[in-house]
Structure 1
Amino acid sequence: MVVSSPIRKIIHVDMDAFFASVEQRDNPELRGKPVAVGGSRARGVVAAASYEARKYGVHSALASKIAAQRCPHLIFVKARFDVYSAVSRQIREIFHSYTDLVEPLSLDEAYLDVTENKIGMPSATIIAQEIRKKIFEETGLTASAGVSYNKFLAKIASDMNKPNGFTLITPDKAEELVAGLVIEKFHGIGKVTAAKMQSLGILTGADLRERSEEELVRNFGKVGRYYYRIARAQDEREVQPHRIRKSIGSERTFDVDLTEEQDMLDRLQHLAEEVAQDMSRLQASAKTVTVKIKYFDFTLNTRSKTYLGEFTSADAIYTIARDLLRAPQLPAYPVRLLGISVSSLTYQHDKLREGYQLTLEL
């Protein structure tokens, strides 16, 4: 006798304009006004935009100059990642009060599998609504949530009624809903892939479903198999509470181009400390450091070095980054952005499981 597994109950929670909403919460003068976090009126890149700013076409990753042109009364505020991280931890504690199967995607969104949960509640809808209510009560911020039987659909659902919204996609409605989606709305299909699909006549989920798996693999590689499945509202990916990050990094765009070595080193020190804090939080060590340098003319240069031993401290990361910045010579042109990332990561829980001990700390 074959026993079918129960339909999974997946929630995707996405905070509404998270960074900007935190700034509006903490500064009443910003409420109801168009706000951009990061960058400045003169230069830089927008990290996040309030919904008031989005009405003018301002969004994350948009050049600040363009954002200011689109919305002349846009208010720029400096990012406070330590505050955002603290609020994110509050929110994750709420998630974990319902289930340990929590997969964070970033500071402001996560998947939860509540098929079996800590409160014995059979309704994922009720859990999602309780979570949204608790988030607002404890942080003063709103969240949107989507519920369905797989991750792809839960993510689609959470985007459908933002901000402060909720959507449920049931099995009997899923295929019809996916068929009607324009291809740009598919989670996992970016702008470049969407443009290629459109050039092939794939404009909607219904168009995508008409293509064979072989054709999709031929045109898009292995990921074509994923496209074939999601066109049919299928997604077997599990919620992974210990999803492994392949790299950890931090970068900054400066209001004024840097030309002096000490100014660059001071910025590198700060970046190294941010990266080390993230490594400590994730209980990770690394073997590779990469320094990213963007010049005044937007020319990009990266320099990397890999060690046999592992490192975790800010001092070690800074020392390596400093040497990379200087080799083969200091940047010859004014620098508008610096970044540090670490990779070749090992996580402490893996070492403990394998009886492995950290052997090198630079």
Structure 2
Amino acid sequence: MQPRIMRRVVAHLDLDAFFAAVEENLDPTLRGKPVIVGGGKRGVVATANYIARRYGVHSAMPLVTAHRLCPHGVFVAGNHRLYRDYSRRLMNILGEYSPLVEQVSLDEAYVDLTGTERLFGPVTHTARAIQQRVQEELALSISVGLAGNKLVAKVASDMEKPHGFTVVPHGTEAAFLASLPVERLPGVGPALLRKLRDRGVRTVGDLARVPERLLRLSFGEWGCTLAHAARGEDHRRVESREMVKSISRETTFPDDVGDPEVLESTLIALTEDVCRRLRRRHLEARTVTVKIRYADFVTHTCSRTLTQPRDVDEVFFQEVISLFRRGRTRRYRVRLLGVGVGNLTPRAWQDDLFDQRIPLLRELDLKLDAIREKYGREAVKRGLTAGRR
């Protein structure tokens, strides 16, 4: 008798209008009103509840525009400490159903439910039970997508928001995606969307009909990823991120260095790499550390903790250079430099977004990440690092 092959089942869970929903829990008189979370005169919208969205308000919109579209809306500054507490409680619930919980952001996670039938019964019942528990214990609405892989589960969770529940049976992934606009695929942003439309690609089905070799010619390795995505294929595993406590990079010079410009440009390059790895893991860091090892092997480290967790290059550039200038107290040449970040937390996709500068800087960083992913790490360099050898 042949052993039964266990099919993988992945749930993607996404809290609906998370920040606004928490504010409504905090102040029930807000229910039934358009609630917009954001702060500062020059800030942007962190999130808006579904009533506010009817007026055209959406995340990352300047608050000035949101006020114009919805002048009668209730504008709330936001409380990230409270949001993180709710997020922690959500992840605790998910952890009761599987050891494989991959937290993507404060309000979003993948759960690998493969093989849980023996403990909890049919997987669809388990996913429904999780949705119900979140509603009862946190008083929050959550949308669920259930599929054979992460990509399709994520798309599915967005199909019937709010409080959606969408199941994509094994073998139907390509058919499920075919009629959807191509921008529904994760990773297809405005720039890539324009290029695809220029090639006549409007739906995921259109994309699936483009030969993979042509996509590779047009978009490099990302073209292969697009081809697989269009067919509903995704072999990435659900990975628990609990073990990641810090991220660091260091380099030892071939010859000891005394030139401050070379040392600082090296630190900038190391910081870029650390921040890129943060973004790849969808994490932010509050603490940054600089390590200096001198020619005589004496090693100094100095750290600073930020008021808010970040994953933006520019923020850490300033901190790293400041720490280095303060911490380099000896006249010896330098043998090794290192940059590390700690106090890691899942990134809030709505951002703190109360500082309009941060999402703009992140957008630039993500574009640079994409270029380097496609053409190599040396494809784009900042001015301070361009002269390094």
TM score, norm. by length of structure 1: 0.70
Question: Within 1, Cα distance between the matches of 2:160 and 2:176?
Answer: 14
Aligned twin of 2:258? none
Contact 1:34 1:50 in 2 (8 A): yes
Any idea what the Cα deviations from partners look like across 1:123-173, whole Å, max 9, x if unmatched? 221111000111111111110101011111111111011101101011243
Distance 1:194 1:137, change over 3 A: same
CA contact (8 A) 2:101 2:240 kept: yes
**Are 2:50 and 1:16 equivalent residues in the alignment?**
no
Deviation at 1:290, TM superposition (A): 5.0
Question: Aligned equivalents of 2:38 and 2:214: distance in 1?
Answer: 42
C-alpha distance after superposition, 1:235-288 (max 9, x if no partner) = 1111011286733257xxxxxxxxxxxxxxxxxx9x81433xx9xxxxxxxxx9
Confirm or deny: 8 A CA contact 1:290 1:303 kept in the other structure: no
- The answer to whether the Cα contact below 8 Å between 1:98 and 1:119 also exists between their aligned partners in 2 is no
Indicate how the Cα distance of structure 1 residues 289 and 337 shifts in structure 2: closer, same or farther if over 3 A, else same.
Answer: closer
Between the aligned partners of 1:151 and 1:289, the Cα distance in structure 2 is 26
Q: Which residue of structure 1 aligns with residue 187 of structure 2?
A: 188
- Are residue 227 (structure 1) and residue 207 (structure 2) matched? no
Match in the other structure for 1:93: 92
Deviations 1:89-142 (A, max 9, x none): 111011000001000110001000010239623522111100011111111111
Match of 1:308 among 323, 334, 338: 338
1:330 aligns with none
Superposed CA deviations along residues 206-231 of structure 1, whole A, max 9, x for unmatched, are: 21111111111111221111111111
Give how far 1:304 is off: 5.0
Q: Secondary structure at the match of 1:47?
A: strand
Matched residue of 1:37: which SS? strand
Conservation of the 8 A alpha-carbon contact between 1:292 and 1:303: yes
Which residue in 2 is equivalent to 1:105?
Answer: 104
Unaligned runs of 5+ in 2: 248-276, 279-283, 287-303, 325-336, 344-354, 363-389
Amino acid at match of 1:21: A
The residue type equivalent to 1:66 in the other structure is T
The answer for the alignment partner of 2:267 in structure 1 is: none
Q: Deviations over 1:15-70 (max 9, x none)?
A: 00000100011111211111111135x43111111111111111111111111111
Q: CA deviation at 1:289?
A: 9.2
What secondary structure sits across from 1:308 in the alignment?
strand
SS state of the match for residue 171, structure 1? Answer: coil
Indicate how the Cα distance of structure 1 residues 16 and 310 shifts in structure 2: closer, same or farther if over 3 A, else same.
Answer: closer
CA distance in 1, matches of 2:129, 2:47: 26
One-letter amino acid matched to 1:14: D
Contact 1:115 1:122 (8 Å CA) reproduced: no
Checking the alignment, whether the CA contact within 8 Å between 2:182 and 2:204 is kept in structure 1 is yes
Q: Percent identity?
A: 35
Q: Does the CA-based 8 Å contact 2:147-2:169 persist in structure 1?
A: yes
C-alpha separation in 1, matches of 2:356 and 2:150: 38
Residue 179 of structure 1 contacts residue 206 of structure 1 at CA under 8 Å; is this kept in 2? yes
Give the match for residue 37 of structure 2. 37
Q: Does 1:67 align with 2:97?
A: no
Task: Report if the CA contact (8 A) 1:13-1:158 is conserved.
Answer: yes
How far apart, CA to CA, are the structure 1 residues paired with 2:118 and 2:137?
19
Q: How many residues are treated as equivalent by the alignment?
A: 283
Residues 205 and 231 of structure 1 are in contact (CA less than 8 Å); yes or no, is this contact kept in structure 2? Answer: yes
SS of corresponding position for 1:105: strand
Paired residue for 1:285?
none
Q: Which moved more, 1:197-206 or 1:109-118?
A: 109-118
Between the aligned partners of 2:132 and 2:312, the Cα distance in structure 1 is: 41
Q: Could you tell me whether the CA contact under 8 Å between 1:46 and 1:62 is conserved in 2?
A: yes
Give, as a single letter, the amino acid of the residue that structure 1 aligns with 2:56: G
Letter in 1 for 2:28: P
Q: Distance in 2 between matches of 1:221 and 1:122?
A: 43
Supply the distance in 1 between the matched residues of 2:19 and 2:312 (Cα, whole angstroms).
28
1:159 aligns with 2:189: no
Partners of 1:116 and 1:225 lie apart in 2 by 30
Amino acid at match of 1:35: V
Give the Cα separation in 2 of the matches to 1:53 and 1:35.
6
Conservation of the 8 A alpha-carbon contact between 1:144 and 1:162 = yes
Q: Judging changes above 3 Å, is the alpha-carbon distance between structure 1 residues 118 and 125 closer, same or farther for their aligned structure 2 residues?
A: closer
Any idea what SS the aligned residue of 2:202 has? Answer: coil
Match of 1:281 in 2: none
One-letter code aligned to 2:231: R
Paired residue secondary structure (2:172): helix
Say whether residues 1:78 and 2:108 are aligned partners. no
State the partner residue of 1:135: 134
1:27 corresponding residue in structure 2: 27
In the alignment, is the contact (CA less than 8 A) between 1:16 and 1:143 conserved in 2? Answer: yes
Structure 1 residues 176 and 338, CA gap change in structure 2 (3 angstroms): closer
1 CA distance for matches of 2:237 and 2:118? 21
Q: Distance in 1 between matches of 2:313 and 2:9?
A: 40
The answer to whether the 8 A contact 2:44-2:356 is kept is no
The equivalent residue for 1:47 is 46
Q: Secondary structure at the match of 2:308?
A: helix
Deviation track 1:326-358 (CA, whole Å, cap 9, x = no partner) reads xxxxxxxxx9857999xxxxxxxxxxxxxxxxx
Among 306, 312, 328, the residue aligned to 1:272:
306
